[in-house]
Amino acid sequence: MQVFLINLNRRTDRLNAMTARLARLGLAATRIPAIDAADVSAGWLAQFFRANGPLGVIPKGDQCCSLSHRRAWSAFLAGGAPFATVLEDDVVLSDAASLLLRRTDWIAGGARLVKLEHFGPQSQRVLVGKQTDIGAGHSIAPILSRHTGAAAYVISRAAAMRLAAIDRWDVPVDHLMFNPNVSPLARELKPLQLLPAIARQSADSSDIKPWRLAGRRLSTKLVKREIVRAYYECRLLPQQIAAVLAGEAHLARVAGPLPVRFDRPYPELVPVRTATV
Residues 230 and 90: their CA atoms lie apart, in Å, by 29
Question: Residue 128 domain-assigned?
Answer: yes
Give the DSSP H or E segment for 138.
Answer: strand 138-142
pLDDT digits (tens, 9 = 90+) for 164-173: 999 999 999 9
Q: How confident is the model at residue 109 (pLDDT cuts 50, 70, 90)?
A: confident
Question: Residue 273 domain-assigned?
Answer: no
Mean pLDDT of 109-113: 91
pLDDT digits (tens, 9 = 90+) for 128-150: 999 999 988 999 999 999 899 99
Q: Which domain holds residue 224?
A: 2-253
For residues 122 and 112, which has the higher predicted lDDT (pLDDT)? 112
Q: How confident is the model at residue 176 (pLDDT cuts 50, 70, 90)?
A: very high
**Which candidate, 179, 173, 177, places its Cα nearest to that of 189?**
177
Mean pLDDT of 223-235: 65
Q: Tell me how crowded residue 239 is: count the other CB atoms within 10 A of its CB.
A: 12
**Is residue 164 within 8 Å of residue 73, measured between CB atoms?**
yes
**Which candidate, 88, 74, 143, 95, places its Cα nearest to that of 115?**
143
Note the Cα 84 to chain centre separation in Å: 13
Question: Residue 267 domain-assigned?
Answer: no
Question: Residue 272 domain-assigned?
Answer: no
- Model pTM score: 0.84
Residue 121 sits in a domain of what CATH number? 3.90.550
Q: How many domains does the chain have?
A: 1
Question: Residue 63 domain-assigned?
Answer: yes
Question: Residue 18 domain-assigned?
Answer: yes
